[in-house]
Structure 1
């Protein structure tokens, strides 16, 4: 990545697309088709990267490499201390290459460069945390089975893991999964989103530089319906971890049934910001504006619904509007901008469709609603609608864009009903000065992650994941390593076994 460091330092666009081949069995891998797919920057409208389009044969090669690497124990049978050393070295290399990784992330995703920098450095912290867990993975013992029996519960790596990551946080979301799978002793085949594959490929090279044995991590690039589906169906893959939309998650779950592989899914969200009458409205307004603008709303835990007590609704909406009026939308390589581009034209059109639907359904447009796609540069202003009906598309469907739907409530029971009245249960934020009310709220809200008087924050110590149609399983925290293990019960007879037939 040294050749890219100067370009990243100057924040100039590359004169030609940065080409990065696949990574299989510790080496660059061109692929059987030799076909390259160019990626245009959604913030600049010009080609910036190119990656290989894999065939299912290429995927088979990657899975075979991961299978060999797991079965011969080159990684799975190392001590936790040895695995931790590689993960720590990887974290150090991520920090050394943070500017280049952030630059590539911004080119492909369209997010602001400051956000990309923050995500890359935070990802390094996750690798450091996971390194510690590599040394504490443990099972259990049972010394209560009688004088002649001793029991052990052994926790072992699940095997070959397929990790399918989305386009919105390609480096960070991978770092919430991959180091934990490696800490557990698994080998991995990664299929990044076709729109944002380059930083994943660069990470694979850094892993080799850090001392990871060949074949332990392999990266195959290509289309989700082809390569992602084939990975989920693959008979030689023991577990699949998928992050993305709920509809695609259903297809992954079905595909995984072919060999009953273990499945981890983090899927869509329609997350409420619940604001009670006693909340600090200035604090809440700033967080609500951030929650809907972060990554241009292309965030599974985005606070896309404002469920607010009627007595403070008008005042709070005005404060949110005032914050959003200060938000700068534009060139993601300009560090002064808060919001970058929409990732691609299909997503841009989808978000625009929801804005049009809000107007048709009679919701009140408070601010935003404007967009620009001149020269294939895709930008949408953060948008707020009031008087959104609970059953409408704005209130029920994951938009994945910077649109906030506001619905008032009168009673605590109505607030909980509105918060839980969607198919999803990924995250929620609760705003109140009343500790008792906050505890009562987070006990009743159906979500895997809840923030009280804050939003979209936290580190790798805590688990993440959803309930209802937002997913299965948990990532990060000590649970993140356990997710990539299986339990084995062992009974040890002490002395002679009682005879069946004397």
Structure 2
């Protein structure tokens, strides 16, 4: 496929894709096509095929053959690392192209998309080292007649279902680690944001990944996604999405072949601010924590829990930050908050804003659509007088909507933070190390930030507690997630016969 240089305007015509299987592009042919319109500009930007279940079967067969004949898992760590390193370099070379289509399909600001793409190159470069360092263990304490080994082996064919909010980032938080373990992949991106997943498949092939190790089928979650979850020749399924759909994934996997599951699901994440924090820093961090990716982020800090003595002042500080946030065309380098990705999500966010007011919450600022002449935009929204039983305080809104609840003691702050079904992420803002450590230890969340938010890199694992999911991605934990542990017992010397 011809590359396209980044332009800060929508394309004149949509870019047409096939799907990717067994190391090559498969043309759409007579398959039905999905036309994706930019959520910010209202014009068609990409066109991808709606694959059939037969296409999925063929992709799984390709991944199965590639795994079983050991063309990838049988390579040494150095050979796998070389492919991952080359992939990172090619991502950097094509970063503008990838960021451009990420912005066109998703609606996120181009500056954010570009930073994410470069971070994804880091993922591959870091995972290359893990391909060489993955190891097991040995037991030399079993007596003179027995020696024990523990090995890690790749789990097999991995089905990968990714969402529309971070199409490339979430993909790259998984793919390099899955490949580092020696597994092969069948990926199914969201039908509204398929372009960058397809581009990555091409990059991996160009980097030397053997045919069949990375396959991408496009289409709806209800058909292709469901078939991938249920597929008996898929050994493990990694799913990122809502907790409600995650439950259906668990049920479907249990009815097929009891495949191993990795799930990153919803979150209703607290940001706890103590009076002794640097309140200027905290206000900026809180605004960023809910405004990043227009709040369409499973780890966004959507519940602001503030020490009562500074709650009113801090609310005004956050409001002042919201008032200065630049919402607009995501292809403008100055934009900080772009478009809502889908019409359905736009309607959902607005319905929660209406419900919050109906339940008695006080709308401090925002709460409205921004009329840009085209596209769908929502200004950052702040609610006060929120109680824990309100839907806006309990349910994942997945948009730029922030609720404020005050606390008086550290124990109350922790109680409010843990009063949720979720446990994905949390932040605490304080200059008191005792408070910071106490909160970090007692708030139940898989990712935690102290005096910052949404920070990190490929070294630390991602994942949640409670109904926020199972398993961990990224870091060495993310490679181990896609392995099976095998115990090997080796007898030394002559056997003591059972039958004399």
TM-score (norm 2): 0.98
Aligned to 1:278: 276
The alignment partner of 1:215 has SS state of coil
Paired residue for 1:443?
A: 441
Contact 1:33 1:54 in 2 (8 A): no
* Aligned position for 1:261: 259
Q: Secondary structure at the match of 2:404?
A: strand
Deviation at 1:429, TM superposition (A): 0.2
CA distance in structure 2 between the partners assigned to 1:143 and 1:336 by the alignment:
61
Residue 478 of structure 2 is matched in structure 1 by 480
1:379 aligned counterpart, secondary structure: coil
Task: Give the superposition deviation at 1:410.
Answer: 1.2
> How far apart in 2 are the matches of 1:401 and 1:321?
16
Asked whether the 8 Å contact 1:189–1:219 carries over to 2, the reply is yes
1:137 is aligned to 134
Instruction: Kindly report the root-mean-square deviation, in angstroms, between the aligned alpha carbons of the 2 structures.
Output: 1.0
Number of residue pairs matched by the alignment: 499
**Gap change, CA 1:31 and 1:254, over 3 Å in 2:** farther
Which runs of structure 2 are paired with 1:61-140 in the superposition (5 Å)? Answer: 61-140=58-137
Partners in 2 of 1:139 and 1:222 — Cα distance?
Answer: 39
Corresponding residue for residue 143 of structure 2: 146
Shift of 1:12: 2.5
Name which of structure 1's ranges 27-36 and 280-289 shifts more when overlaid on structure 2: 27-36
Q: CA deviation at 1:370?
A: 1.3
2:410–2:435 CA contact under 8 A, matched in 1: no
Give, in angstroms, the shift of residue 372 of structure 1. 3.8
Structure 1 distance, partners of 2:449, 2:346, is 29
Deviation at 1:411, TM superposition (A): 1.5
SS in 2 for 1:130: helix
Distance of 2:387 and 2:425 partners within structure 1 = 21
Structure 2 residue runs of 5 or longer lacking an equivalent are none
Q: Which residue of 2 aligns with 1:304?
A: 302
User: Relative to structure 1, is the Cα distance of residues 217 and 3 closer, same or farther in structure 2, using a 3 angstrom cutoff?
Assistant: closer
User: Structure 1 CA distance, aligned partners of 2:147 and 2:493?
Assistant: 11
Q: Which residue of structure 2 lines up, in the alignment, with residue 4 of structure 1?
A: 4
Deviation at 1:367, TM superposition (A): 0.8
Distance 1:32 1:247, change over 3 A: farther
- Aligned mates of 2:219, 2:189 — CA distance in 1: 8
* 1:228-251 residue CA offsets vs partner (Å, 9 max, x unmatched): 111111000000000111011111
1:353 aligns with 2:360: no
1:56 & 1:2 partners in 2: Cα distance? 28
**Within the alignment, does 1:158 sit opposite 2:155 as a pair?**
yes
Q: Which runs of 5+ in 1 are unaligned?
A: none
Contact 2:17 2:28 in 1 (8 A): no
Query: Map of 1:264-343 to 2, 5 A cutoff?
Result: 264-343=262-341
- Contact between 2:198 and 2:216, CA under 8 Å: does it hold in 1? yes
Among 13, 16, 20, the residue aligned to 1:16: 13
Please say if 1:209 is aligned against 2:209.
no
Q: Is the 8 A contact 1:31 1:58 kept in 2?
A: no
Give the secondary structure class of the aligned counterpart of 1:325: helix
Matched, 1:406 2:399: no
Provide TM-score, normalisation by structure 1. Answer: 0.98
Of the candidates 50, 53, 64, which is equivalent to residue 50 of structure 2?
Answer: 53
Offset, 1:498: 1.7
Shift of 1:30: 3.0
